[in-house]
């Protein structure tokens, strides 16, 4: 089994001291940072833009997984690449197959990985036509928009089905803690994005290790 990668989601971090929060999870053994970008249209929340991602890039050497939960992601790809993103995830609900393939070519030329995500209510069939273009797939296990939501168990079935037809990395985002991590890993997940469970913990290192322990 490949090493499980843990991606603390900065949506749950204290933005008044974001640099310290990032350093905390970096020292605790995080593999990457998950950065949720929301525009108030595709999801009912507004978060941050390329300027903040650029500042985060200066604060850490961790991989930056930038999750574009926005209406027209293709309009902002260049800005987020220039800001220092290592991985960019777009939602199948907001962009068509042809555009995804265009993005794949553009990002590959820049050395940036492309992820394709789908919401809990979106059937897996919706992304089957672009799996060959995806460097990884992100399964949402909560409704996108806000941190601290309860994990939706149906994500486990979706991960199992995806793993049976897809050999790339599978990421999961939403409601992840030590209680569900094992099920997700056994279903086929490789990357677990967790926000409040890690940033809200007294010991971030212990929280990250408890998530990884699900692979045992």
The whole-angstrom distance between residue 36's C-alpha and the CA centroid of its chain comes to 8
In terms of C-beta density within 10 A (0-12 exposed, 13-18 middle, 19 or more buried), how is residue 89 classed?
A: buried
Q: Which of 31, 36, 39, 65 is catalytic?
A: 36
Q: Which of 31, 39, 65, 173 is catalytic?
A: 173
d(CA 88, CA 136): 10
Could you confirm whether 78 is annotated as catalytic?
no
End-to-end CA distance of the chain: 10
d(CA 23, CA 17): 10
Contacts of 126 (CB under 8 A, 6+ apart): 92, 93, 118
Residues with active-site annotation: 36, 173
């Amino acid at each position: 089994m490949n090493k499980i990668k843990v991606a603390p989601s900065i949506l749950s971090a204290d933005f008044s001291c974001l640099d310290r929060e990032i350093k905390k999870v970096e020292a605790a053994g995080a593999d990457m940072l998950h950065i949720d970008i929301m525009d108030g249209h595709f999801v009912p929340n507004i978060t941050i833009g390329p300027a903040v991602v650029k500042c985060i890039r200066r604060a850490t050497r961790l991989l930056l997984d930038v999750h574009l939960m926005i209406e027209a992601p293709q309009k902002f790809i260049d800005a987020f690449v220039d800001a220092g993103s290592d991985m960019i995830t777009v939602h199948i609900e907001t962009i068509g197959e042809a555009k995804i393939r265009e993005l794949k070519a553009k990002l590959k030329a820049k050395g940036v990985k492309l992820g394709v995500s789908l919401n809990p209510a979106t059937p897996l069939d919706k992304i089957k036509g672009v799996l060959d273009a995806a460097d990884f797939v992100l399964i949402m296990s909560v409704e996108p928009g806000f941190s601290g939501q309860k994990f939706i168990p149906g994500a486990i079935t979706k991960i199992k089905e995806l793993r049976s037809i897809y050999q790339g990395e599978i990421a999961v985002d939403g409601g992840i803690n030590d209680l569900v991590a094992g099920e997700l890993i056994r279903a086929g997940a490789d990357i677990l994005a967790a926000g409040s469970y890690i940033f809200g913990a007294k010991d971030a290192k212990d929280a990250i290790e408890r998530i990884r322990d699900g692979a045992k």
